[in-house]
Structure 1
Amino acid sequence: MPTDTPQPAFVLVRPQMGENIGAAARAMWNFGLDRMRIVAPRDGWPNPKAVAMSSGAGRLLDEAQLCADVPEALGDCTYVFATTARQRGLTKPVYSPERAMQIAAQKIASGEKVAVMFGPERAGLENEDIAKANAIISVPVNPLYASLNLGQCVLLTGYEWMRQSAEVVHETTDLGRKGEWASGVEVEKLVEHYEERLDAAGFFFPPEKAEGMKTNLRNLWSRMRMTRSDVQMLHGIMRQMVRWKERGGE
């Protein structure tokens, strides 16, 4: 059974190739969407090529709702978007995918049932299909090459849905399995270690410039976001250099 997560239904209208249905299923499942409705697929249903292309999203295909026509697919919906890359001359609001999914999230949160229609690969939705929609989703693409693959269009819309329904982390740092950021105390001990050893080596010279050099060095450390492993490695480097020098290294 589909999950209970509130979400729009994605309606594939007369899709032509099983591979594209599978790609659409995979794209939906990438973003936690599992309510697919398939209207009059050209090559019949079920389609083994769709399953092969779905790459692990076969459950979504097993639970997909097969519909004879568009009215059946939209029968329980209160608000419908139609995706198209062409100007149709129809008086309807036209939204970007981002804005459309913002509206979808608002309507679903208020209890409405929302659907997004995607057209067949060759020419997209017919005007007759779009006339059944409340609004249009238009992707800002290269006007000289505006055609999007079915799976690509589903993926893009699914991503915009996820941005509205879940927190997106826009930047992070992979610290590895054992990585932790170094604390202020750990960094301060590293700074003291280096200052002590560099001072003993006569690095802070001449004396009147020593404090300024130490300030510049501390500023360098503060610009380096270090993990605990980084700090330990830098301690080890300095200790090894001191040992090497004490053994008479040149």
Structure 2
Amino acid sequence: MPILEFQHVSKVYNNTTKALEDISFSIEEGEFVSVIGPSGAGKSTILRCVNRLIDATEGKIIYDGQNVMELNKRELRKVRTKTGMIFQHYNLVDRLSVVENVLHGKLGQKSTISGVAGHYSEEEKEQAFAILEELGLAEQAYKRCDALSGGQKQRVGIARAIMQQPKLILCDEPIASLDPKASKTIMDHLAQINRTKKITCIVNLHQVDVAMKYSERILGVAAGKIVFDGTPAELTQEKIHTIYQSSDQDLIIDMQGE
């Protein structure tokens, strides 16, 4: 049974703008899937519909056996606790320390009073430090997040997501704001997490070459529709052209052979 399934999902904004049109696909547990396509194609909308940061207009979204579109607030909160989210602009609390931001990954599993008071067990604190060690951030644990580089901030975002012990991590343009070296570090960490912790990863990317290097499977989105669903080996120049409606991506795929 797939961990995630979109069945004829559409999203219309303001009754006029079609962001998604009759999208259907399924993702198996443990897959590493990249979603590529031009800006405005609907990549972010797909991810945000999974945990209902955005509500789809039509269709079904089955996640871990539940139709998330039918859940009440309490049920939705449970779904969100098992769904990590990594954002392009990090979404951290800059005035707090690295380890405090990581511990925020547990907030969805706590009562409102415990969350506001910042009550964390010793076991949770040890877990946070272990994750920071894995991600090469142990020495930064007590630094404020606004003192970190972009790549370090994104690693904190990954650590916060892992802290949730999720079944699925959604990554919305996680390397769009980073330089190539930091981007490689982030993608290497995501691939390792997927491989060693068996956490399903869906990653929105602008970079076709990165998608081809790291993914088992690629979804190509254009104008709110899935126009490609296959392996990196199946992503030909012609199919890239179909996704982007341009030959500008030719240079990117040519780099693979260098």
TM range (shorter): under 0.3
Task: Select the structure with the greater relative contact order (CA < 8 A; seq sep ≥ 6).
Answer: 2
TM-score, normalized by length of structure 2? 0.24
Give the TM-score taking structure 1 as reference length: 0.25
> Larger strand proportion, structure 1 or 2?
2
